[in-house]
Amino acid sequence: MNKIFKVFAYLLGAVVLLLICGVAYLQLAFPNVNPAPELTIEYTPERIERGAYLANHVTVCMDCHSKRDFSQFSGPPSPGTIGAGGDRFDHSMGLPGVFYAKNITPFGISDYTDGELFRLITTGVTNDGRPMFPLMPYSYYGKMDPEDIYDIIAYIRSLPSIESDIPDSEADFPVNLILRTMPQNAEMVKRPDPSDQIAYGGYLVNASGCIECHTQVSPQGVIIPEVAFSGGRSFPFPDGSLVTSSNITPDPETGIGNWTEEMFVKRFKQYADSGYVNPKVAPGEFNSLMPWTMYSGMKEEDIKAIYAYLRTIPAMKNEVIKFTAAK
């Protein structure tokens, strides 16, 4: 009997040792990305203007890195909170942990060099080597033109500094270990010329992360590529109601197959009309996570390019119930 116990103890010890070695390897070898580049960006008015356009109307960084006012339709950012962060994403949203959008005003990024910010945005690795949970869509930003990322950095450096105390994000075990393997080196591209409307539209669709919300995910929260852009991903509101993303494939019955370019553009630009008043929305009433008021500032030629690109993706039939009130 003692011999059996000894064998069991040896096996248990070997397993524990393997686990310790595995955790140590993950901690030491990952995230496996290149060092932050030596980079000094010239913060010209042109860069800041272009960065403001991208961060507020295309990549919509300020969608998460500001306080959104969901007492209004589509939750526009509250004045005075632009870049201050603080949005919380947790288990109630089906996430494996508690994650916070960080302060990206000069107060929050003062200890970052331009190169470290560039690496953070495009690979998801902080200046102290920590991996970010991919709620921050760094995998999409890592496929953008470096010049656009430089512009965004120039813009956030120009924001008014807002002091805020944001907690650190905490992923649950074992996601906190798996997370270390997720960041990858960026694969930057040159922004297509707008004259190549479909290629340019594809670039904007990636930069905007449209696939992230308009695609169903697996139980592990991973995008299902086979149903890309067909909608059906649900997002809970605090009151228990549920909003579900639309099918934006060119299916004529359940998607946007019957939409004209004019209809598509109008759907976005109506929120920028001088006569538009954003309605108040009471808890339990229909609301949307889609930041319409932010996207409404997108240039018309850019919206048309997105439309042109979406017309080229496979049409998929998927009837979506956009809103389910709390029971």
Q: Structural domain boundaries of the chain? A: 1-30, 32-191, 193-327
Q: What is the DSSP string of 55-96?
A: HHHTS-GGGTSS-B-TTBTT-PBPTT-TT----EE-GGGT-S
Query: DSSP string of 258-306?
Result: T--HHHHHHHHHGGGSTT--PPB--TTS---SS-HHHHTTS-HHHHHHH
Cβ count near 77 (within 10 Å):
22
- The SS3 of residue 199 is helix
Beta-bridged to residue 215, according to DSSP, are 231
The HSE-up count of residue 49 (CA atoms within 13 Å, CB side) is 3
Q: Give the predicted TM-score (pTM) of the model.
A: 0.91
Question: For 204-240, what is each residue's pLDDT tens digit?
Answer: 999 999 999 999 988 767 889 999 999 999 998 888 8
What distance separates the 2 farthest-apart alpha carbons in the chain?
85
Q: Kindly list the distances between the CA atom of residue 191 and the CA atoms of 38, 59, 197, 201, 203, in Å, as whole numbers in the listed order.
A: 22, 14, 12, 10, 7
Strand order in the sheet with 323-324: 234-236, 242-244, 323-324
Token digits for 262?
A: 């004019």
Per-residue pLDDT of 82-117, as tens digits, reads 999 988 988 887 788 999 999 999 999 999 999 999
What distances in angstroms separate CA 309 from CA 193, 199, 258, 290, one per listed residue? 14, 7, 15, 19
Percent of the chain with pLDDT over 90: 75
Is the separation of the CB atoms in 60 and 294 below 8 Å?
A: yes
Residue 182 to residue 30: CA distance in whole angstroms: 9
Q: What is the pLDDT of residue 19?
A: 54
Indicate if the pLDDT at residue 169 is higher than 60.
yes
pLDDT in tens, 2-25: 666 655 555 655 555 555 554 454
